């Protein structure tokens, strides 16, 4: 039996028990801001849209961006999807975290990229997962 580490919950998962695709945390540290993105473990499970756990941390710039307005999801064919919800810290401060969600029309995506624009001095951060 293979064991994978689920970084969002810090618990071991048996692969035999997982029915959805597993995707892992990615970190981008540019422009004085560390952005950590982890697709939630419910990707493609029961037709739910894709959601991401996101944290932003800095000691040098104000994190005042509305993630609904600066984020886009791309599929493997370059089609764009806009987020439908941000449940997390408001646009202010130096430490923010929450969940960015996309609509049900993203539930079947296997290969996708999350693009977050204009955080710190970085015009575009791209986080890619390939199924």
What domain range includes position 119?
Answer: 3-129
Q: Which 8-state DSSP code applies to residue 15?
A: G
Q: pLDDT tens across 93-104, in order?
A: 999 999 999 998
> What's the CA gap between 43 and 57, in Å, rounded?
25
Q: pLDDT tens across 67-100, in order?
A: 999 999 999 999 999 999 999 999 999 999 999 9
Least trusted range by pLDDT, from 13-17, 31-35, 63-67, 107-111: 13-17
Number of domains in the chain: 1
Residue 1, pLDDT above cutoff 70 = no
Which CATH number fits the domain that encloses residue 106?
Answer: 2.60.40
Structure tokens at 34: 């560390």
């Amino acid at each position: 039996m293979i064991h994978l580490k689920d970084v969002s919950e810090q618990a071991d998962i048996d692969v035999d028990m997982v029915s959805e695709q597993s995707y892992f945390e990615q970190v981008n540290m540019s422009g004085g801001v560390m952005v950590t993105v982890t697709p939630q473990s419910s990707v493609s499970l029961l037709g739910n849209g894709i959601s991401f756990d996101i944290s932003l941390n800095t000691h040098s710039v104000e994190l005042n961006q509305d993630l609904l307005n600066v984020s886009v999801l791309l599929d493997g064919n370059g089609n764009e999807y806009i987020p439908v919800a941000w449940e997390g810290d408001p646009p202010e401060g130096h430490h923010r975290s929450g969940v960015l969600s996309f609509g049900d029309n993203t539930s079947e995506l296997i290969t996708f990229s999350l693009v977050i624009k204009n955080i710190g001095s970085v015009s575009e951060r791209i986080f890619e997962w390939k199924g």
